[in-house]
Amino acid sequence: MIASTGSVARERTWDSFDDNRDAIFRRFKDGSYSPDTGASPDELQRMADAYLLENPDQSRILQKANIFRMVLTHGRIDVDPEDWFAEKIDHGNVLRKLTHGARGDQDFGPGLWLEEAAAGNLKSGTDWFDQAQEHGVTTGPRSGLDLGHISPGWDKLLARGLSGLLDDIAQARASLGDAISKDQDAFYSALEIVYGAAIDFASRLSNFASAAAESQPEHSTKLGAITRALSNVPAHRPRTLHEALQFMWLMHQLIEMEGENVRSMGQFDRTLYPFYRADVGAGRITDDHARELIKFFWHKWYCGTEGAANGKNFVFGGQAADGSEITNELTYLALDAYEELNTPDPKLSVRYLPGSPERLYDRVADLIRKGHNSFVLMNDETAVEALVKRGKTPEDARIYLPIGCYEPAVEGKEVACTMNVTVNLAKPLELALNDGVDPRTGVRLGPATGDASGFESYDDLHAAYITQLDHVLNNSRQHIAEAEREWPRINPAPFISGAIDDCIATGADISAGGARYNSVGFVGAGLANAADSLFALKAAAFDGARFTMAEIVDATRTDFYGREDMRLYLRNRVPKWGNNEPGVDAVAKGVADHFCATVHSFTNGRGGGCQAALFTLVAAASFGALSGATPDGRKSGESLAPGVGASYGLDIGGVTGLINSVSTLDFTETPNGSVLDVSLHPTAVAGEDGLNAFVGLIKTFFSQGGYAIQFNVLDAETLRDAQRNPEQYASLQVRITGWSVYFTTLTRKEQDQYIARIVHAG
C-alpha cells in the first residue's frame, strides 16, 4: 500500500496535486541543498579536474564512469517532501562540461572533449558545417555528431533492474574468458562502476527520505513511499506503479546527467500497464490515485521545461511486437490526467492502426480541439513499413518509439541519431541559379554549374539543382562519418549503453556501434519552397515563356525590387504544392524521392545506415532568414514552409487538397520521420458533426499513406486578443513544430509569425 487511511486523512495525501504543483515547481527550479549532504558543484568540479590530472592515460569511458560515480557519491542531495518522486542531486553539469561544451545558454568553457575533437581531427568537418550553417545550407550540431536523440530500453530496465544488468555483464565477461579485449574489459568495468553508483545513490536518497519522514511527520506518507521505492529501484524490478514511475524518472535524470538527452520516455500504456493492472487488482491503488500519480510524474517534465522547450515524448496506442493492438484502460486514464494537468509538456504521440478503437480517435481529437494540442498522430502501417525497408525485423519495427518529435527508432535496440543534419532543400536551387555562389554573401558554397541564364531547358535547371543538392548531401555524409568515428573519445555513454541491445553482448558502447541498429538522420526541410520554385521556373520560363530565366534570376537577386508584378504572378498564378495540382506535385515527389534515395545509399561511421526525413521544426524560420528571394514568389528572409506541407497561406485548396498533395509522397521512404502541420478553425470541428469530421480527416490521411500529422485548432482573433490581454490567456497552448508552448511566452515577433501562419485557417 502507498498510503494508509489514517495518513490520507492527516496529510491529504491524495487529491493534493493542485495544492502542491506550484511549490514543487519552485523547489525544482531553485533547489535548496544542505551542505551537510555533500559537496557543492564547485567542489565536484575540482574533484573531477583532479581525477583527470591523476589519470591521464585511462580510457575515456573509465574516466567518465569514475567521475559519474564521484558525483553520485559526493554530490549534495535533497528530497521534496510534497512530491511522490525523488532525484535531486546538485551535480553542476560536471559530466556535460566534460563532453559537450556549451548547452543552450550555458557555456561550459573550452578544452572539453568535443571541443578538442572539433579543433583537431574534426576541424575540416566542423569548419564545413559552420560555413553551411552561416549561409542557411544546413543546420545541426556543428561537428555533425548528434548526441541528443536517444531512449534506453525501458522494457528491459523495468524487467531486469540494474542488478539484472550487472548479472548480464558478469555472464558476458565469463563467456569471453581470456579472449576479452582491452576495450571490452574497460566497457564492462565502466558499466559496473556506473550501475553500482546509481544503486548507491538511490540508497542515499532513500535514507534521506527516511530521516525526513521522522522530522516531518506531516509528510511521512509520501516520504515513506519514496523511502520504500528507492530501497528497491533501480536495483531491482519495480513492484508497483509508483516504483516503476520512480525508476523511469531517476533513470531519465541520470542518463541526462551522463550527457545524453532522453527524447522518449517509452510506450506508456504498454510498458506500465502490468504495474497498473497488478496494483488495481491487488487493491493497492484506485484509478483516481493512479491518475494523481501520473500527474505528479508528468509535472516533473514541465518543471524542467516551463512549457518553453521541446519536451519529452510519451507514446500511446499502436501495437506490440506480435502485432496486437495495445490500447487499454491505462491509455484513457493517462489521457484524462493529461487533460487535467493542462500543460504543454510532456508531449504525447499516439500510434494508430486500422483497427484502433474509435474511442481513441474520438478522445484524442476532442482533446486537440479543446486546446490540448501536444499531440503528434502517427500511422503505424507506414512507419513500420519504413523501418522494415531499412533492415529492421517486423517484430522490432512494431515497437518503435518516436525519438524526439516524429523520428521513429526501435525501443531499446536502436541508437538513432535522428538529427545529425537538416538540409535546406530550397538553398541548392538558389545556388544553381547563381553558379554555386550564395548571392547574399558572395561566398562559393557549391560546385560551378553554369550561368543559369543560359539554361536551355528545364532539364538543365533540374540537373544543376541536383548537382548542388548532392554536393551538400555528400559533404554532410563524409563529415558525419568522421565525427562518429571520434564518438568514443567525445562522449562514451556507459550508463545508457547497458540498456540498449546488444551492447553488453558485444562488449561495445553505443558510441562504438554496440547497438543492434545504428542509424543517422538526414532531415530535408523546405520541400514546398524547392518544389514551388522549380515548378515556377518550369512553368513561367520554359513551358510558358512568360519571363526569361535571366529576368527571374535577376529579380530574385534584387528581392524582386521593381518587379512586384512578376513576384505576384509567380506566387499567385503558378500552381503551388499542397493544392492537389499534378504538375507541381510531381516536382515535389521527384525532389523527395531523390533526397531519400541518396541518403539511403550512405553508410555512417558506426557501420549502420543513414535514414531520410522530411520536416522542418525551427529550421523553417532560420533557413528562411539566410535565404534570398526564391522563384516561388517568396521574398528574401521570409520563413520557409512548415513540415512537409504547403507554404504559409498557399494551401488555398483546403485541407483536402493539402492531404492529396502530401499523399503523393512515399512515406515508407522517410524512416527518420515526417509530419504534416494542419491548422483548423474551431467552427470546423465543433459539436458532434465536427468531431466526426475531424476524425474522418485523420483517417483519410492515414488511409492514403500519410506518416504523421499534428494540429492547431485556433482562430486568429483569439491569438490577437491574447496579445492584447496576455493575463487572460496564460494557459493558451499552441503547437509550434514538434512541441507545444504557451502562446504568451513567445516574443511579439514570434507571435506575429505564428498568427500569419494560421491566419488562412481563421
Question: DSSP letter string over 106-169?
Answer: B---SSSHHHHHHHTTTHHHHHHHHHHHHTTSEES-TTS---S-B---HHHHHHHHHHHHHHHH
pLDDT tens-digit map of 152-192: 999 999 999 999 999 999 999 999 999 999 999 999 999 99
- Please give the full DSSP string across 705-736, using - where no structure is assigned: T--EEEEEE--HHHHHHHHH-GGGGTT-EEE-
**Whole-angstrom distance, CA of residue 579 vs CA of residue 611:** 28
* Confidence (pLDDT) at 759: 57
| pLDDT at residue 131 is higher than 90 | yes
Residue 343 has pLDDT above 90, yes or no: no
Identify the DSSP state of 412. Answer: T
Q: Which three cell numbers stand for residue 48?
A: 573531477
Q: How many CB atoms are closer than 10 A to CB 56?
A: 7
Backbone CA torsion sign across 576, 580, 581, 586: positive
| DSSP for 354-373, written as a single string | TT--HHHHHHHHHHHHTT--
Mean pLDDT of 689-709: 95
Please state, in angstroms and rounded to a whole number, the distance separating the CA atoms of residues 88 and 32: 10
User: Is the pLDDT score of 731 beyond 60?
Assistant: no
Residue type, 196: G
**Confidence grade of residue 747 (pLDDT, cut at 50, 70, 90):** confident
Q: How confident is the model at residue 728 (pLDDT cuts 50, 70, 90)?
A: low
- Beta carbons of 426 and 527 less than 8 angstroms apart: no
- Return the closest-CA partner of residue 375 out of 690, 672, 668, 708: 708
Q: Residue 350: beta bridge partners?
A: 316, 377
The pLDDT of residue 727 is above 70: no
Yes or no: say if 559 and 570 are a contact pair by the CB < 8 Å rule.
no
322 pLDDT higher than 90: yes
Which has the closest alpha carbon to 615: 755, 710, 473, 756? 710
Residue-wise pLDDT tens digits, 646-671:
998 898 888 999 999 999 999 999 99
Question: Average pLDDT for residues 29-36, to the nearest whole number?
Answer: 88
The pLDDT of residue 101 = 54
Contacts (Cβ under 8 Å, ≥6 apart) of 234: 157, 161, 162, 198, 199, 202, 247, 250, 251
Answer with the residue of higher pLDDT: 661 or 102: 661
Mean predicted lDDT score pLDDT of the chain: 92
The model's pLDDT over 375-397, given as tens digits with 9 standing for 90+, comes to 999 999 999 999 999 999 999 99
596 versus 12: which is more confidently predicted? Answer: 596
DSSP 68: H
| Number of residues written out for the chain | 762
The grid cell for 318 is 499502436
- Of the pLDDT bands very low, low, confident and very high (cuts 50, 70, 90), residue 110 is very low
> Among residues 530, 550, 532, which one has the least CA distance to residue 541?
550
Q: State pTM to two decimals.
A: 0.93
pLDDT surpassing 60 at residue 4: no
Other beta carbons within 10 Å of 503: 27
Does an H or E element contain 74, and which?
helix 60-74
Distance CA 674, CA 663 (A): 12
Higher pLDDT, 106 or 747: 747
Q: Residue 707 has what pLDDT?
A: 97
Give the model's pLDDT for residue 7.
40
CA distances from 338 to 17, 97, 294 (A): 13, 35, 8
613, β-bridge pairs: 523
Q: How confident is the model at residue 719 (pLDDT cuts 50, 70, 90)?
A: confident
Q: In 3-state terms, what secondary structure has residue 418?
A: strand
Instruction: Say whether pLDDT at 433 is over 50.
Output: yes
pLDDT, average across residues 81-100: 93
% pLDDT > 90, the chain: 80
Does position 276 have pLDDT exceeding 90, yes or no? yes
How far apart CA 375 and CA 251 sit, in angstroms, is 24
Query: Which comes out higher in pLDDT, residue 618 or 206?
Result: 206
DSSP secondary structure of 469-534: HHHHHHHHHHHHHHHHHHHHHH---HHHHTTSTTHHHHT--GGGT-SSEEEEEEEEE-HHHHHHHH
Q: Which of 94, 79, 86 is nearest to 41 (CA)?
A: 94
- Whether the CB-CB separation of 275 and 284 falls below 8 Å is answered with no
Q: Is 681 helix (H, G, I), strand (E, B) or coil?
A: coil
Local structure of 747: helix, strand or coil: coil
Lowest-confidence segment of 84-93, 262-271, 735-744 by average pLDDT: 735-744
> What share of the chain has pLDDT > 70, as a percent?
93
CB neighbours (10 Å) of residue 130?
A: 13
Identify the top-confidence range among 26-35, 442-451, 677-686: 442-451
Question: Cα dihedral sign for 754, 757, 760, 761?
Answer: negative
